[in-house]
Amino acid sequence: MMALLMTFILTSSAFSNGGEIPQAYTCEGRNVSPPLAWQHVPENAKSLVLIVDDPDAPDPKAPKMTYVHWVLYNIPPTVKSFPQNGAAMALPEGTREGLNDYKRTGYGGPCPPIGRHRYFHKLYALDVVLPDLGNPTKAALEKAMDGHILAKAELIGTYEKKKK
């Protein structure tokens, strides 16, 4: 009998894949990170990386950049979830933070200037624990991850500011 290959998956109890991110997790709400959970981390994973970004900035009809909202690395592979507002709580031992495009560490919620944007929550399983990179940008972290990605899980949420 063939072994069933389990797919590495990332979910949130706050929104479904492709669904709308609740206002609480945005600049119009409490601006706290959503709850995230994952399953089927590859057995040989040594660390996890989480990157949340928006490829639709500044305008989904004419995107010019990918805006980075949250960067974490060296998350222990034994960790299976982050609670709501996990970005403000004590991170799991060994976990390091990178810089988001708000020029700070931690979570910065969706705050699209125009239109409905997509927010990609990407979780990577790596075959190494990365060296201390300080507070790397997404680009520096991706360079350090190159050649070490075992699996990737992705959860996409959308958000559009409420009309005033």
Q: Where are the domains of the chain?
A: 10-159
Peptide bond into 136 cis (omega under 30): no
Please state, in angstroms and rounded to a whole number, the distance separating the CA atoms of residues 152 and 154: 7
Contacts of 11 (CB under 8 A, 6+ apart): 17, 36, 37, 38, 39, 155
C-beta of residue 157 within 8 angstroms of C-beta of residue 89: no
Asked if residue 160 has pLDDT above 80, the reply is yes
Q: Integer distance in angstroms from the first to the last C-alpha of the chain?
A: 59
| Cβ count near 16 (within 10 Å) | 12
- Measure the CA–CA gap between 111 and 101, rounded to whole angstroms: 12
Residue keyed to tokens 């010019």: 64
Alpha-helical (H) ranges within the chain are: 138-145
> Which superfamily, per CATH, for 10-159?
PEBP-like (3.90.280.10)
Tens digit of each residue's pLDDT (9 = 90 or more) over 54-81: 999 999 999 999 999 999 999 999 999 9
What backbone phi and psi angles, to 5 degrees, belong to 24?
A: -55, -30
Average pLDDT, the chain: 94
Distance CA 98, CA 27 (A): 20
Q: Kindly report the CA angle at 49 between 21 and 112, in degrees rounded to 5?
A: 30
Mean pLDDT value across residues 70-98? 93
- Confidence band for 4, pLDDT divided at 50, 70 and 90: low
Q: Please tell me whether the overall predicted TM-score, pTM, comes out greater than 0.85 for this model.
A: yes
